[in-house]
Amino acid sequence: MAISSTGGISTTLAIADAAASAGASLIVITNQYGTPLATLANIALLVAGHH
């Protein structure tokens, strides 16, 4: 599972990519659709934040 509001933090992406490459299912919680992190996910949960 990875959690990121922006979905673009390089450290989070690297860990998520390594997990996905190893065959792990990846669940992502983010507030932006279409980010690099969300596209790696098997399941992406999108949540709205306060603006």
pLDDT at 2: 92
pTM for the whole thing? Answer: 0.79
Residue 16 domain-assigned (yes or no): yes
pLDDT at 8: 83
pLDDT at 44: 94
- pLDDT surpasses 80 at 51: no
What are the tens digits of pLDDT across the range 11-24? Answer: 999 999 999 999 99
Half-sphere exposure of 17 (CA within 13 A, CB side): 10
Our measurement of the distance from residue 43's CA atom to the centroid of its chain's CA atoms, rounded to an integer in Å, reads 9
By the 8 A CB rule, do 5 and 49 touch? yes
Q: Which domain holds residue 18?
A: 2-46
Residue 51 domain-assigned (yes or no): no
pLDDT at 33: 85
Count of domains observed in the chain: 1
Residue 20 domain-assigned (yes or no): yes
- pLDDT surpasses 70 at 50: no
Give the SS3 label for residue 39: helix
